[in-house]
Amino acid sequence: MKIEGRNAVGEAIRAGKTIDRLLVQKGLKDTAANKIIDDAKSRGIKIFFRDKEALDRESVQGRHQGFLAEITDFVYCELEDILAAAEQKGEPPFVLLLDGVEDPHNLGSILRVAECAGVHGVVIPRHRSVSVNETVIKVSAGAAAHVHVAKVTNINDAIDALKARNVWVYAADMDGPSIYGTDIKGAAAFVIGGEGQGVKRLTRSKCDGVVSVPMRGKVNSLNASVAAGVVVFEKLRQDSGV
């Protein structure tokens, strides 16, 4: 898997990801570039300095910013690993479940939101969903290197497993009560629907509750990653007692 861009490559190095090959544009001397290069050298990563044209040819996104790395394919975790991470931090579980998110830009943005908010992990289905690929890693601005992502056979089974561990599961859907009037403090998981049909009917019926983001405009739905951001930071606000 190729990742590119200063943030994505730098975070992968700092997170200890296995980097098979690191290409760096010749002539970069700014502080940020030198920091990435020094971090790579300190971890014994072999660096190949190439002309910009060589990186342009290998770039998938066309925005390598002078850095392109080949890493071992993304390693997914299990749902139990996410719960263990919460326990290790002494915090109630805070989880996002994605019900059919297929746009890599949405997944990348959601991983960035999750990392910034301290979400313990993100759960995605094995089928009919985007996987963590080069685009996702690039859009996440390096957050993909720090977020637990579990890939499960069935989202509904994951919901049952969370409920069995006393985690309250909410579907984010435009037909539910306002999230601002709902107590979502403590152990909680939120199901974010895909770009087409949102949260599926059966999945919604599995949840303990439904929350919505009030709308005032003519468009009645949000992009999946924007919805995730609103939900996640409202939970942080409530947990902090603000």
Assign residue 26 the CATH number of its domain: 3.30.1330.30
Same domain as 149, residue 38: no
Predicted pLDDT at 18: 81
Query: Are 61 and 158 within one domain?
Result: no
Q: How confident is the model at residue 72 (pLDDT cuts 50, 70, 90)?
A: confident
Poorest-pLDDT segment among 60-64, 139-143, 156-160:
60-64
Residue pLDDT, tens place only, 203-233: 999 999 999 988 887 776 788 999 999 999 9
pLDDT digits (tens, 9 = 90+) for 31-65: 999 999 999 999 888 899 999 999 999 888 888 99
In whole angstroms, give the CA distance from residue 130 to residue 110: 12
Give one DSSP letter per residue of 54-68, joined into a string: HHHHH-SSS--TTEE
Instruction: Point out the domain boundary residue: 30, 54, 71.
Output: 71
From 22, 49, 71, give the residue that closes a domain: 71
**Residues 190, 84 within the same domain:** yes
Check pLDDT > 80 for residue 177: yes
Question: What domain count does the chain have?
Answer: 2
Q: Are residues 31 and 86 in the same domain?
A: no
R_g (Cα) of the chain, nearest Å: 19
Q: Identify whether residues 107 and 218 lie together within a single domain.
A: yes
- Residue among 227, 122, 101 nearest 176 (CA): 227
- Per-residue pLDDT, 222: 80
Between these two residues, 19 and 116, which has the higher pLDDT value?
116
Does the predicted model carry a pTM greater than 0.85? no
φ, ψ for residue 24, nearest 5 deg: -125, 135
The string of DSSP letters for 210-240 reads EEB----SS-----HHHHHHHHHHHHHHHHH
Together in a domain, 128 and 65: no
So what's the pLDDT on residue 71?
Answer: 85
Give the model's pLDDT for residue 30: 94
pLDDT at 39: 93
Contact 159, 133 (CB under 8 A): no
Q: Domain check: are 162 and 218 in the same one?
A: yes
Which among 242, 238, 173 is positioned nearest to 204, based on CA atoms? Answer: 173
Instruction: Give me the pLDDT at residue 117, please.
Output: 95
Rounded Cα gap, residues 232 and 190, in angstroms: 8
Same domain, 223 and 115: yes
Chain centroid offset of residue 137 CA = 9
pLDDT given for residue 51 in this prediction:
95
Token duo for residue 155: 């989202």
Instruction: Assign residue 5 a region (left: φ > 0; alpha: ψ between -120 and 50; beta: otherwise).
Output: left
- Residue 171 sits in the same domain as residue 235: yes
Residue 94: domain span: 79-240
- At residue 214, the pLDDT reads 86
Q: Which of 71, 100, 129 is the endpoint of a domain?
A: 71
Task: Return the H-helix or E-strand segment holding 32.
Answer: helix 31-42
Question: Token pair for residue 222?
Answer: 């949000």
Please check whether residues 85 and 196 belong to one and the same domain.
yes
- Helix ranges, 90-172 (H): 104-117, 134-139, 155-164
Whether residue 111 is found in the same domain as residue 151: yes
Does residue 7 sit in the same domain as residue 83? no
CB 99 within 8 A of CB 170: no
